[in-house]
């Protein structure tokens, strides 16, 4: 199932909200991306940044489960959202 870009952006913003609320995981994300907390407000408008949020969460099944459970969405929906954002169609798992 593919979802619209608008829906994907909304889902990524929800995932970002979940990530910001996770005191243990947020510093890991910031360290991995080089973003600062101050950068995140402006970056949240950038579909490529939103894709990076989903890429990060998709790295760990436990993170996917926790994020999806928090928003009551099926687990595969984050992957579907990622595919609808810039760069999402070019994912190669190696």
Enclosing domain of residue 22: 5-89
pLDDT of residue 89: 66
pLDDT of residue 38: 86
23: its two tokens: 């005191």
Query: How many structural domains is the chain composed of?
Result: 1
On whether residue 65 sits in a domain, the answer given is yes
Q: What is the pLDDT along the chain (94 residues), one digit of tens a residue?
A: 578 999 999 999 999 999 999 999 999 999 998 888 888 888 899 999 999 999 999 999 999 999 999 999 999 999 999 999 987 765 555 5
Rounded to a whole number, what is the distance in angstroms from the first to the last CA of the chain? Answer: 23
What is the per-residue pLDDT for 4? Answer: 92
Query: In this structure, is residue 94 part of a structural domain?
Result: no
Q: Is residue 17 in a domain?
A: yes
Q: Cβ distance 5 to 68 under 8 Å?
A: no
- The pLDDT assigned to 41 comes to 85
Query: 19 in a domain, yes or no?
Result: yes
Evaluate the CA torsion angle 85, 89, 90, 94 in order and state its sign: positive
As a whole number of angstroms, the distance between CA 22 and CA 17 comes to: 9
Angstrom distance (rounded) from CA 11 to CA 24: 21
pLDDT of 39 reads 86
């Amino acid at each position: 199932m593919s979802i619209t870009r608008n829906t994907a952006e909304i889902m990524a913003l929800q995932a970002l909200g979940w990530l910001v609320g996770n005191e243990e995981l947020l510093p890991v994300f910031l360290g991995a991306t080089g973003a600062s907390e101050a950068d995140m407000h402006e970056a949240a408008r950038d579909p490529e940044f939103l894709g990076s949020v989903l890429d990060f969460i998709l790295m760990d099944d436990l993170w996917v489960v926790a994020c999806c459970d928090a928003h009551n969405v099926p687990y595969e929906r984050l992957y579907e959202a990622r595919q609808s954002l810039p760069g999402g169609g070019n994912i190669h798992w190696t």
